[in-house]
Structure 1
Amino acid sequence: MSTPKLVATDLDGTLVRADGSVSDFTRDVLVKLEEMGVPVIFVTGRPLRWTRVLFEHIGSVGLAIVSNGALVWDVATDQPRLTRLIEPTLTAEVVAALKANVPGLVFATETLEGWSGEPAFAPHVSGTLEPAKRVAPIEELAEESLIKLLGRRHEDDDADELLAAAVAVVGDRVNVTHSSFPLLEISAPGVTKASTLELVCTELGISAADVIAFGDMPNDLPMLTWAGTSYAMADAHPSVTACASHVAPGHEDDGVARVLAGVFGL
């Protein structure tokens, strides 16, 4: 393959270790790519507040794609470069359809100001969420445009089965995915990691063929399909392994950095 001109990488389960850290080796590789003039774009399902802790590793391109493509954040100016929001009317339609057909779902919302949720909504891992901005019925929370709509039911739900049930109800009216937990992550129609990455790459004058991308979960599938070169992590979801053109070592073994060191001759 020709040498890529841009690196697009997921964070959790991909670039970042299980404890949330970035290893010294990975940090060194990112610095060397920056010195070579190769942009590295973080493309994550994380909300903005969980991505800020990694902004120190963002190079001169200064952009992060967060919330599965719903937000492009300009790190240098600390403001949004692009928002791709779910409008209130559509949110109301989707919530009503899911409540009628996937019993037991409870909802939360994500905006630039933080997350809000219904009283029954709880963190998918106890203790990982800061206090909600608002606690109210979803019909009230959905009266503003949203970065992301979240839906959950039981901690022991199968994530793939819950996703399939939701997609069967809403179709392509919105984009629905998950990133390992039984938590529905719902974005505006057509909003994926890939579609927003394509917008950023077009602005930079870089084609899909010149992008190398890394991921591990279903929310990475559009990006891995779009990029000219794609890597699933060694412990990726089976659908990701089947989709990607290559497999990288696991995230605990600095898989992204090791592949990049080889590809760029570092």
Structure 2
Amino acid sequence: MPLRLIASDLDGTLLRNDLSVSPRTRWALDAARAAGIHVVPVTARQPIGVRRIAEGAGFGGWALCSNGALGIHLGTGEVLFERHLAPEVQRSLAEAMREAVPGTVFASIRKAGEGFYAQGDYADLAAETDHKRDPATMGRYALEEVVSGPSLKFVLRHPHVSPPELLAAVRGLGLGGFHATHSGAAFVEVAAEGLTKAAGLALLCGKLGVAQADTLAFGDAPNDAEMLAWAGRGVAMGGAHPEARAAADEVTLSNEEDGVAVVVERVLAELA
């Protein structure tokens, strides 16, 4: 296949379980960049979380954050696009979920991924690894304040109900106007209707003049499925969620076994 852009999820995909980038993976990414191929992180993380690993991965260009809702240049800070979930949709969802699953708590991520507005009970449940930020920086807001502004990503969690169960409850409400998914983290992630990693990647490819057929994508979680299906070649990681595996064209080794590097090395060899 012609190859002009590599899009990769981070956690569970490009990164090892200790959140490091292996030397082999870094070499493969550098080799791709040297060949003129764009290498783009596509993640549920916000820019603050991507920048934590950017040096190790060599990321300095475009990144897609918030599951494709935010396109931002890591070097210049230029925002290519932001897609928001409307306050009225958040409010309706929060009210319905509080009735359907009492104890559900919420947070809103805004302002190019830097603004975080969490209920106090949400912050109490959170760990720094959840959103790659200290829970003390999340704020402690009343629910009405949390849903009062448009969100790049609206997140909900429960102290006792698992994310897959919570996602099933969200989908069972019969409400529209949003897209809900989960990434294997401790919460459910909600974005504007039709907004997925695939949609964000399509917007970025349009800017860069890259054809859909010339893209290679990697992922492991349900929130990667649309991107794996959209890409010219979608690769699920070994041990990936069934939704990701079903959407992919092939399966590579796990993130602990440098599965991304294995495929990138093979593709570069084919192009040589």
- TM-score norm. by structure 1 comes to 0.92
CA distance in structure 2 between the partners assigned to 1:133 and 1:47 by the alignment: 13
What SS does structure 1 have at the residue aligned with 2:245?
helix
- Displacement of 1:58: 4.6
- Equivalent pairs: percent with the same residue? 37
Which of 150, 157, 176 is matched with 1:152 structurally?
Answer: 157
CA contact (8 A) 1:26 1:257 kept: yes
CA contact (8 A) 1:194 1:223 kept: yes
Question: What is the aligned partner in structure 2 of residue 168 from structure 1?
Answer: 172
Question: What is the aligned partner in structure 1 of residue 189 from structure 2?
Answer: 185
- Displacement of 1:59: 5.5
Matched, 1:121 2:125: no
CA distance in structure 2 between the partners assigned to 1:132 and 1:125 by the alignment: 11
CA distance in structure 2 between the partners assigned to 1:169 and 1:240 by the alignment: 24
The answer for unaligned runs of 5 or more in structure 1 is: none
Which of 215, 218, 229 is matched with 1:214 structurally?
Answer: 218
Question: What is the aligned partner in structure 1 of residue 51 from structure 2?
Answer: 52
Question: What is the aligned partner in structure 2 of residue 253 from structure 1?
Answer: 257
CA distance in structure 2 between the partners assigned to 1:174 and 1:14 by the alignment: 26
The answer for unaligned runs of 5 or more in structure 2 is: none
Matched, 1:233 2:237: yes
CA distance in structure 2 between the partners assigned to 1:75 and 1:182 by the alignment: 26
Superposed, which structure 2 residues align to 1:77-116 within 5 Å?
77-112=76-111, 113-116=114-117
Deviates more, 1:99-108 or 1:227-236: 99-108
Q: Which has the higher helix share?
A: 2
Give the letter aligned to residue 151 of structure 1: L
CA contact (8 A) 2:125 2:159 kept: no
What SS does structure 2 have at the residue aligned with 1:45?
coil
CA contact (8 A) 1:114 1:132 kept: no
CA distance in structure 1 between the partners assigned to 2:43 and 2:219 by the alignment: 9
- Displacement of 1:85: 1.2
Deviates more, 1:101-110 or 1:190-199: 101-110
- Change in 2 beyond 3 A, CA 1:242/1:108: same
- TM-score norm. by structure 2 comes to 0.90
Deviations along 1:62-105, whole A, 9 cap, x unmatched? 10000101111112212322111112222222222222223221
Deviates more, 1:72-81 or 1:15-24: 72-81
What SS does structure 2 have at the residue aligned with 1:169?
coil
Q: How many residues align?
A: 263
